[in-house]
Every structure is written in C-alpha cells, then in structure tokens.
C-alpha cells in the first residue's frame, strides 16, 4: 500500500493549497503569529473539508453534560475546543505524524508547530485527493470498457445471426440442388440407354443392308435366269412337235416354273425385308429425333445445373467470406476483450489496493474516533470532578477569606 509523506510545506505552499482547495483564504502574515481563534477556525475548516468534523456536530454541544456543571454557558467554548482538540489528535495520529498534537497547540499555538501540523494534514489532503482522482478515472474506464464489451457482444450476436441465416438458406436450397442432381443423373442414364439402343439399331440396320444386298443379288440372278428360262421356253415352244420329246420339254417347263415360283417367293421375301428395313429406318430416325430432343433437354438441364452450381459456389464463397470476416472480427474482438479484461483486472487490483488502503484508513479513523469519544467522555467526567472539587473548595474557603466592606453591609 502506498504511503504519503508530509514534508513541511512553506507558508506560500500552505496558503496556495488552502486557496486551491477552497478551504479558506489567508495570507502569510496570518501564519506568522497565529492566535487561538484563527487556529481553531482554520483546523475546523480543514477537518470539515476532509469529512472528519461536521459543522453541525462542531456547533452542537452536549447540553446534558453541561447541565451538570455550574454556569454551563461559560463552558460552551471549552466543550467545542475539547471536541476540536480530540478530532485534531485523531487526525494527527491517523496520518502517522511524528509529533503529538496537544491542547496547547490550540490554546497557545506556535508558528512552527502550527505550520508542521498544517503540512501533515494538507499533505494527507493532497494524497487523499490524488487517490480519489485515480479511483474516479479507473471507475470511468471500467464503465467505458463495460459499454464497449456490450457493444462487441451485440456485434458478435449480429454476426452469429447472419451466419445462421446463410446456413439456413443453404439448407433450404440443398433439396433443390439434390433434386436437380438426381434429374441430371436420370437423364444421363436415359441417354446412355438410348445410345446403346441406337448402337443396337445401327447394327441391325447394317445387317439388314447386307442381307438386302444379298437378296438383291439373288433377285437379279433369278430375274436373269427367269428371262433366260422364258426365252428358252419360247424357243422350245416354237420347236414343240408331236413327239416323245414333248414330255421331256414339259418337264423342263414345269421345272422352270417351279424355279420361277421360288424366285418370286424370294422376291416377295426381299420386298418384305425392304419394308422391314424402311420401318427400322423410320424408327431409327424417330429415335434420333428423340435422342436429339433428350440431348437438348440434357444440355438445358446441364446449363441449369451449371447455373445452380455457380449460384451454389457463389453462395458458399459469400458464406465463407462472411464467415471468415466474422471469424476475424470475432477473433479481434476476443483479443481486444481479453486485453481489456487484463487491463481491467490490473486496474481492479489497483482499485482493490486503493480501496483496501481507504478501508484501512477508515477503520483506523473509526477506531480513533471511538477511542477519542471514550477519551472525551473520560475528560468530561474528569472536568466535572475537577469543577465540583473546585466549587467545593471555593465554598469551603469562602468564610475564611476577608470580605469587602460592601458585602459585609
């Protein structure tokens, strides 16, 4: 705990401090040869300034104690002087002044001792005022820190609310993104199936083309053979005669007719294959149109997916940016709050030390006041006993003293 010192102040310093503290306005000449009334008034004003003596308590006299004395009006000033003396004695002891304050310092004040006690008490006043100013500044700073901490807590709550809103928006858009992804996946599977079907149809078409070519070659050969058979048949008919060879020719014609029927069946089969080929070709064209339509839809859906992905990336980027900014700001706030907390703890320790010092002084003051009050009561009782003995003595020797002539008459 810090200690204050009480070096003897010069008269100019004493006058300046008293004027600056608005205690009393005096001059150097008042301190050169101080009179009892001036010293009593000066000490009373100083004690009132530091709250060790209240004016109403100083003016109030214990009438109950004075009533037990003869001529109590003559003892009012004495009672006030004793009360001021006890208060001054307490304060001088409280400030650990090496010199003791006596009743003589009030009744017959000396310049050096008066200035010495004034220096001690005024140094205590300055020390007390300095401590109170420090406490006031610390309390103001603690109040400012609390207000700033409340503002930072509000800002942190706001940032947490914004982060929660971004997370909520992301959760709301997540089902839509998942639905689009599922549709894209389904379309890709459909396109893959159509591509496989198209490849199968192309393979079938190629085989049909090969078979059609073979059938066309067979038809050409059969037509050529048919033409030759017709020509041979015509030649043979022109040469038919009623002969045994007619039967052989008829057999040959029957054989050629059978061949022609077989060829006609092959031609019909080729036409059927051609019709099937055209139907497959038309179906393949329809599948191509459907495939292109699905491809266009796929491109459109992929565009939407890309758009959603870009929007999702932008939202995630904005969210990450906001979260990063909020995290940085939160960390800065935490660091500043931690720094302010350490400063506040250090200042709180200083405040606690100062409060402990004030409590110690207050406790010491209370103890001195209590002991002073007890001592004052003892002095009052002793004073009453002395006055009673004095009046008894006065009454006992009244008849022994010579009386003036006027009193005898």
Q: pLDDT tens, 277-293?
A: 778 778 777 877 877 78
Q: Which domain holds residue 97?
A: 11-147+356-377
The rounded distance, in Å, linking the Cα atoms of 195 and 203 is 12
Residues 15 and 108 in one domain: yes
Residues 114 and 136 in one domain: yes
Residues 338 and 367 in one domain: no
As to burial, measured by CB atoms within 10 angstroms (0-12 exposed, 13-18 middle, 19+ buried), residue 225 is middle
The rounded distance, in Å, linking the Cα atoms of 399 and 7 is 58
Is residue 84 scored above 70 in pLDDT?
A: yes
Structural domain contains residue 77: yes
Contact 124, 4 (CB under 8 A): yes
Neighbours of 14 (CB within 10 A): 21
Structural domain contains residue 386: no
Last residue of a domain, one of 291, 320, 344: 344
pLDDT, mean over the chain: 76
Residues 267 and 310 in one domain: yes
Is residue 121 scored above 60 in pLDDT?
A: yes
213-262 tens-digit pLDDT: 777 777 777 777 777 777 776 676 666 554 556 566 667 667 766 777 77
As to burial, measured by CB atoms within 10 angstroms (0-12 exposed, 13-18 middle, 19+ buried), residue 89 is buried
Q: What percent of the chain has pLDDT over 70?
A: 81
What's the number of domains the chain is made of? 2
Residues 248 and 373 in one domain: no
pLDDT of the residue at 345: 82
Residues 107 and 248 in one domain: no
Residues 183 and 331 in one domain: yes
Residues 193 and 130 in one domain: no
- Which comes out higher in pLDDT, residue 155 or 64? 155
The rounded distance, in Å, linking the Cα atoms of 327 and 160 is 10
Structural domain contains residue 121: yes
141-170 tens-digit pLDDT: 888 888 888 888 888 888 888 888 888 888
pTM of the model: 0.41
Last residue of a domain, one of 344, 368, 394: 344
Q: How is residue 406 written in tokens?
A: 């006027």
pLDDT of the residue at 406: 43
Residues 219 and 306 in one domain: yes
Structural domain contains residue 169: yes
pLDDT of the residue at 238: 64
Find the radius of gyration of the CA atoms of the chain.
64
Minimum mean pLDDT range among 181-190, 235-244, 385-394: 235-244
Structural domain contains residue 409: no
Residues 129 and 273 in one domain: no
Q: Which residue has the tokens 């008269």?
A: 11
Residues 192 and 252 in one domain: yes
Helix (H) or strand (E) holding 201: helix 111-238
Residues 326 and 367 in one domain: no
Minimum mean pLDDT range among 27-31, 156-160, 311-315: 311-315
What is the average per-residue pLDDT within 6-29? 85
Band of residue 407 on the pLDDT scale cut at 50, 70, 90: very low
Residues in the chain: 409
pLDDT of the residue at 386: 76
317-362 tens-digit pLDDT: 887 887 888 778 878 877 887 887 788 788 778 777 877 777 777 7
Residue 122: give its domain's CATH number: 1.10.418.60
Packing angle of the helix pair 245-397, 111-238 (nearest 10 deg): 170
Is residue 71 scored above 50 in pLDDT?
A: no
Residue from 130, 289, 319, 94 nearest 198 by CA: 289
pLDDT of the residue at 299: 82
Last residue of a domain, one of 344, 365, 399: 344
Structural domain contains residue 69: yes
């Amino acid at each position: 705990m810090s200690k204050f010192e009480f070096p003897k102040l010069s008269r100019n310093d004493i006058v300046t401090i008293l004027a600056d503290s608005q205690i009393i306005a005096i001059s150097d000449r008042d301190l050169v040869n101080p009179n009892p009334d001036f010293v009593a008034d000066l000490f009373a004003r100083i004690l009132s300034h530091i709250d060790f003596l209240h004016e109403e308590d100083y003016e109030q006299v214990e009438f109950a104690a004075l009533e037990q004395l003869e001529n109590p009006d003559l003892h009012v000033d004495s009672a006030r002087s004793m009360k001021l003396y006890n208060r001054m004695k307490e304060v001088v002891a409280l400030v650990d002044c090496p010199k003791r304050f006596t009743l003589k310092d009030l009744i017959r004040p000396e310049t050096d001792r008066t200035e010495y006690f004034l220096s001690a008490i005024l140094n205590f006043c300055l020390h007390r005022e300095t401590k109170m100013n420090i406490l006031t500044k610390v309390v103001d700073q603690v109040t400012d820190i609390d207000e700033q901490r409340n503002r930072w807590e509000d800002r942190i709550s706001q940032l947490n609310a914004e982060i929660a809103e971004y997370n909520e928006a992301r959760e709301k858009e997540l089902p839509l993104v998942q639905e689009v992804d599922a549709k894209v996946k389904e379309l890709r599977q459909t396109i893959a199936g159509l591509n496989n079907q198209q490849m199968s149809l192309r393979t079938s078409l190629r085989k049909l083309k090969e078979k059609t070519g073979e059938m066309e070659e067979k038809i050409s050969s059969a037509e050529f053979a048919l033409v030759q058979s017709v020509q041979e048949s015509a030649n043979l008919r022109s040469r038919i005669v009623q002969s045994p060879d007619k039967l052989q020719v008829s057999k040959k014609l029957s054989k050629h007719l059978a061949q022609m029927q077989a060829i006609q069946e092959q031609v019909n089969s080729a036409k059927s294959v051609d019709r099937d080929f055209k139907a497959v070709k038309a179906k393949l064209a329809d599948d191509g149109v459907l495939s292109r339509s699905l491809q266009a839809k796929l491109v459109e859906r992929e565009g939407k997916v890309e758009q959603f992905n870009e929007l999702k990336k932008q939202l995630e980027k904005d969210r990450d940016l906001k979260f990063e900014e909020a995290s940085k700001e939160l960390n800065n706030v935490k660091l500043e709050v931690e720094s302010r907390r350490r400063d506040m703890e250090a200042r709180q320790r200083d405040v606690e030390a100062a409060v402990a010092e004030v409590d110690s002084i207050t406790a010491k003051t209370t103890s001195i006041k209590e002991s002073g009050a007890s001592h004052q009561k003892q002095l009052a009782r002793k004073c009453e006993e002395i006055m009673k003995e004095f009046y008894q003595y006065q009454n006992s020797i009244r008849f022994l003293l010579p009386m003036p002539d006027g009193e005898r008459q």
